[in-house]
Structure 1
Amino acid sequence: MENNYIMIAKTFFGFEEILAKELLMLGAQNVEPGVRMVSFKGDKGFMYKANLALRTALKILKPIKQFKAYNDQSLYKGIQSIDWDNYLGVNDTFVVDVTTNSDYFNHSQFVALKTKDAIVDQFRDKFGKRPDIDKDFPDLRINIHIQKDQCSVALDTSGASLHHRGYRTATNIAPINEVLAAGMLLLSGWDGQGDFLDPMCGSGTILAEAAMIACNIPANINRKEFAFEKWNDWDNDLFDTIMDSLMKKTKEFHYTIKGYDKAPSAVMKAKDNIRNANLDEYVTISQENFFDTQKQSKGPLHMVFNPPYGERLDIDLERFYREIGDTLKQSYPNTNAWFITANLEALKFVGLKPSRKIKLFNGKLEARLVKYEMYEGSKRTKFQNRDNQ
């Protein structure tokens, strides 16, 4: 289609394939995973849809120009070759975000300043006036990416990172990023076809993302705004049409989603956040110490959680992780238990062999998403029974 153009969805390391799958399921064309990003093609309506619905994207960028930049003059000239009044008015505001991996451009602030100069000089020459910088609430967010001598200029369609879903107003110590939570759930195979438990739910992020996946609710339904709403070509009717079409694809959910936390303050915050997300009919949260609990579900149970790493919380890690293993072994048969940890040493104390280990990053911390398969009876019995069928 003529109106289709290339876009870039940014994501975390390890989520490229699941983001590509999300894009394909939404109807994107020419989907190509890269490193911490996936490129794809779509039109303006699809750009709205991607921002609303993608669970594992951090930002959606719309590239507008690519050129060689090997010194400050070539950078300035390349930026000036773009007709900026197509995107920006003299009374509008803008900001420039920069990522650079180049021998020449090793300071992102210098690149941002040079880009800003090229844009405002163009406006001064044309109109005798210039748009201003606004770092907090700009009308246009410009993204510059320099790799060696290749400079890519893109418009940031999202604004604030897409992990800002809009439902989380209360957090505890070390809350998990919403995109990270959603990616963990998708990597774990969670599809809403069974009972779910987060036994250390904190402020309820994993529970909220699990419920939205189960019911096929768009990830950013509760978000207050997107950057594209301030653009010259913003189409409110098209946006409403896209939103309505996504909401018609939501599903009923016939199982349970439960969260435990031993801290009363965490339980209260989690309940508030679940209520803010309009998910309280699907999620129940109670004050429980996971190590004193037993499996409630009669059928298979899907468990995903984010235990403390000891980075920001003062705990006896050896004892804590041993208790995780003991509780899973003794009290949670027929359960697939997944959790993330950045304390790779602590995994030794669980006393169980993980069936999967996936490398991820939680912020700057290298982490592992691990899976423990807890069988009904012993593993040997399970396989003997299967062989005898």
Structure 2
Amino acid sequence: MEQDNNNFNMVAKTLFGLEEVLAKEIKQLGGKDVKVLNRAVSFKGDKRLMYKANLCLRTAISILKPIHEFITRNEHTLYDQVKAIDWTKWLDLDKTFSIESTVQSEYFNHTKYVALKAKDAIVDQFKEKFGERPSVDREKPYLKLHIHISQQECTILHDSSGYPLFKRGYRTQTNKAPLNEVLAAGLILLSGWDGKTTFIDPMCGSGTIPIEAGLIAGNIPPNIHRKYFGFQLWDDFDENLWEEVIAEAKAGEKEIHCKILASDVSDDTMDMAGTNIEAAGLDEVIRLSKKSFFERDAPPAPGLLIVNPPYGERIVPERIMAFYKKMGDRLKENYSGYDAWIITSNADAVKKIGLRHSKRLTLYNGSLECRFLKYEMYRGTKKSFSKKERRPH
């Protein structure tokens, strides 16, 4: 790891479909030589930017710092190449480490086996040098390593984040199928919401989407509530610089003037959402109410909804089809002048909404492939709207 603030390479990992959004975020933070990869974005910056990236990026899962690259086609060269690195530069016997691996290669079939061979190489180097070995700690290691193999190209990276960055620190309670915070922020940024018009989540669950909306509207760093980042354990951690980064980020916060409305139908869900909203410091910003989507009246347009409805994994097909039809009817009846975005993995149920989407994006909610669909709820009919738009001024 560099002992100064000179620029170095970094890689920010993200979810499929959020790469372009993350690249834009990194450029806005001051990242240089930004390149979009598969579920990741590479960029250059200094230690200050690494700290800022961890604190401020909304769609990054982790910020990684490459330390070594080599070619390998089998487990033997992998072991030898990893063992050839002088790990005493970063690791002592009294410090812990962990290794995760990502493999996209015809030469390696087992991701966990790659991590195991790399761990063996590091441990064996210490045994040969000192007769002892450092311990593995998967929860809070001093040194968290990632090994990425793409065909025959292997990169070893330090994880500066520690815990994944979707662990914001505000969500103390969740329902059975919580939406990842990074995905929630990504949905809002993909929607193009300006942070000024009314924002509604009428099926808010444990409150993740409205909380991320509040953080965006107030330009509040998404990870301001986290207690720990991996780089804080590193020998070159600069506490004064870190405090400067936090102070600078807080100085950029702004007052929230838009309405952010969140609702759901269950008492338990409302309790969870309320607890999380309060933990995020947004209890005076987000208006939470126990109300069905089919009972809620929309405030005057313009506005934006993001809806994460049930996908139907635990609901009989007839009921989920009826639910989606009812949802489409409610949008037509009550949300004229709004943009509505719906994320779902149920392609059949979507057809029952009865509206034509104007945009369709592919994302993943956990292992589920989802469609993120935009519906523009025109005042009157789309045909009359189009004529009005074409009228000369």
Please report the TM-score for the alignment, with normalisation by the length of structure 1. 0.96
* Secondary structure, aligned partner of 2:294: helix
Corresponding residue of 2:201? 198
Shift of 1:281: 1.7
Shift of 1:116: 1.5
2:307–2:343: 8 Å Cα contact kept in structure 1?
yes
The C-alpha deviation readout for 1:274-311, integer Å capped at 9, x for no partner, is 00000112101001111122212x23011112010011
2:5–2:48: 8 Å Cα contact kept in structure 1?
no
Q: How far apart are the structure 1 equivalents of 2:95 and 2:282?
A: 38
Shift of 1:127: 3.0
Corresponding residue of 1:228? 231
Which residue, out of 291, 306, 309, partners 2:308? 306
Q: Equivalences for 1:260-275 in 2 at 5 Å? A: 260-275=263-278
Which residue, out of 69, 72, 75, partners 1:72? 75
Shift of 1:134: 1.4
Is the aligned partner of 1:172 residue 2:159?
no
What amino acid is the match of 2:310?
P
Q: Equivalences for 1:308-347 in 2 at 5 Å? A: 308-313=310-315, 316-347=319-350
Which residue, out of 370, 373, 382, partners 1:370? 373
Q: How far apart are the structure 2 equivalents of 1:384 and 1:166?
A: 49
Q: Extract unaligned runs of 5+ from structure 2.
A: none
Which residue, out of 287, 290, 309, partners 1:287? 290
Corresponding residue of 1:130? 133
Q: How far apart are the structure 2 equivalents of 1:289 and 1:21?
A: 36
Which residue, out of 216, 219, 240, partners 1:213? 216
Is the aligned partner of 1:160 residue 2:169?
no
Is the aligned partner of 1:57 residue 2:60?
yes
* Secondary structure, aligned partner of 1:132: coil
* Secondary structure, aligned partner of 2:310: coil
Corresponding residue of 1:182? 185
Q: How far apart are the structure 2 equivalents of 1:113 and 1:290?
A: 49
User: More deviation in 359-368 or 341-350?
Assistant: 359-368
Is the aligned partner of 1:259 residue 2:262?
yes
Corresponding residue of 1:244? 247
The C-alpha deviation readout for 1:352-385, integer Å capped at 9, x for no partner, is 1111111111111111000111122222333344
1:9–1:57: 8 Å Cα contact kept in structure 2?
yes
The C-alpha deviation readout for 1:240-272, integer Å capped at 9, x for no partner, is 111111111112221110001111111111111
2:98–2:141: 8 Å Cα contact kept in structure 1?
yes
* Secondary structure, aligned partner of 1:291: coil
Please report the TM-score for the alignment, with normalisation by the length of structure 2. 0.95
Q: Equivalences for 1:131-146 in 2 at 5 Å? A: 131-146=134-149
Corresponding residue of 1:83? 86
What amino acid is the match of 1:306?
N
User: More deviation in 114-123 or 233-242?
Assistant: 114-123
- In angstroms, what is the RMSD of aligned CA positions? 1.5
The C-alpha deviation readout for 1:62-85, integer Å capped at 9, x for no partner, is 110000112222112211222211
Is the aligned partner of 1:113 residue 2:113?
no
Q: Extract unaligned runs of 5+ from structure 1.
A: none
Shift of 1:312: 3.7
The C-alpha deviation readout for 1:204-223, integer Å capped at 9, x for no partner, is 00000001111111111111
The C-alpha deviation readout for 1:136-156, integer Å capped at 9, x for no partner, is 221111111112221110011
Shift in alpha-carbon separation, 1:28–1:161, aligned structure 2, 3 A: same
Q: How far apart are the structure 1 equivalents of 2:388 and 2:115?
A: 65
* Secondary structure, aligned partner of 2:360: strand
Corresponding residue of 1:103? 106
1:160–1:226: 8 Å Cα contact kept in structure 2?
yes
1:259–1:284: 8 Å Cα contact kept in structure 2?
yes
What amino acid is the match of 1:87?
W
* Secondary structure, aligned partner of 2:228: coil
User: More deviation in 118-127 or 2-11?
Assistant: 118-127
* Secondary structure, aligned partner of 2:249: helix
1:68–1:151: 8 Å Cα contact kept in structure 2?
yes
The C-alpha deviation readout for 1:70-107, integer Å capped at 9, x for no partner, is 22221122112222112111101111111122333222
